[in-house]
Chains A and B, each alone.
Chain A
Amino acid sequence: MSGYGLLAEFDSPDALLAAVRAAREAGYRQLEAFAPFAVEGLDEALQLPRSRVPLLALLGGIAGAGGGFFLQWYSAVVDFPINSGGRPLDSWPAFVPAMVELGILGASLAAFAGMLLLNGLPRLRHPVFEAAPFARASRDRFFLCIRGADPRFDAQRTHAWLQQRAALSITVLPAEAP
Chain B
Amino acid sequence: MNATAAEVARPAAPEAAPVLLGHHTDGSITDRITGIVLQRGRGAGFWLAIGISGAATVLFVVAIAWLFARGVGIWGINQPVSWGFAITNYVWWVAIGNSGTFISAFLLLLRQRWRTSINRFAEAMTIFAVAMAGLMPILHLGRPWFFYWLAPYPNAMNVWPQWRSPLVWDFFAIATYLIVSILFWYMGLLPDLATMRDAARRRGRQLAYGLAALGWRGDARHWHHYRSAYLLLGGVAAPLVISVHSVVAFEFSFANLPGWHSAIYAPYFIAGALFSGLAMALTITIPLRAIFGLHDFITARHLANIAKLMLACGWIITYTYVIELFTAFYGGDRYEIHTALARMGGDYAWIYWTVVACNVLVPQLIWWRAVRASPLALFAISILVNVGMWLERMMIILTGLYQDFLPSSWGNFTPTFWDWAILAGSLGAFALLFILFIRFVPALSMTELRRLNRDITQAGS
Contacts and interface: CB of A to CB of B under 8 A. Distances in A.
A46 to B, nearest CB: 6
Nearest to A97: B169
A17 to B, nearest CB: 10
Interface of A: 13, 32-39, 42-43, 46, 48, 51, 53-54, 57, 61, 68, 71-72, 75-76, 79-80, 84-85, 87, 91, 94-95, 97-98, 100-102, 104-105, 107-109, 111-112, 114-116, 118-119, 121-126, 128-129, 135-140
Contacts of B233: 108, 111-112
B224 A109 contact: no
Nearest to A136: B198
24 contacts: A32-B219, A36-B195, A36-B218, A37-B191, A38-B451, A39-B223, A46-B220, A51-B229, A53-B228, A53-B229, A75-B152, A75-B161, A76-B163, A80-B159, A98-B168, A101-B169, A101-B175, A109-B179, A128-B217, A138-B199, A139-B30, A139-B195, A139-B198, A140-B30
Nearest to B158: A80
B220 A34 contact: yes
A87 B164 contact: yes
Interface stretch (B207-215, B345-353, B364-372, B407-415): B207-215
A105 B176 contact: yes
Contacts of A107: 232, 236
B225 A53 contact: yes
Interface in B185-202: 187, 191, 194-195, 197-199
B176 A139 contact: no
Contacts of A36: 26, 30, 191, 195, 218, 446-447, 450
Contacts of A57: 229, 232, 236
Given A32-B220, A38-B451, A121 B198 contact: no
Given A107-B236, A119-B222, 6 more contacts: A39-B223, A68-B172, A97-B172, A108-B183, A115-B228, A119-B219
Interface in B1-46: 25-27, 30
A61 B224 CA distance: 21
Contact of A139 (B27, B168, B220, B454): B27
B62 interface: no
A33 B26 CA distance: 18
Contacts of B219: 32-34, 119
Interface string B151-177: 010000011111110101100110110
A108 B228 contact: no
A84 B232 CA distance: 39
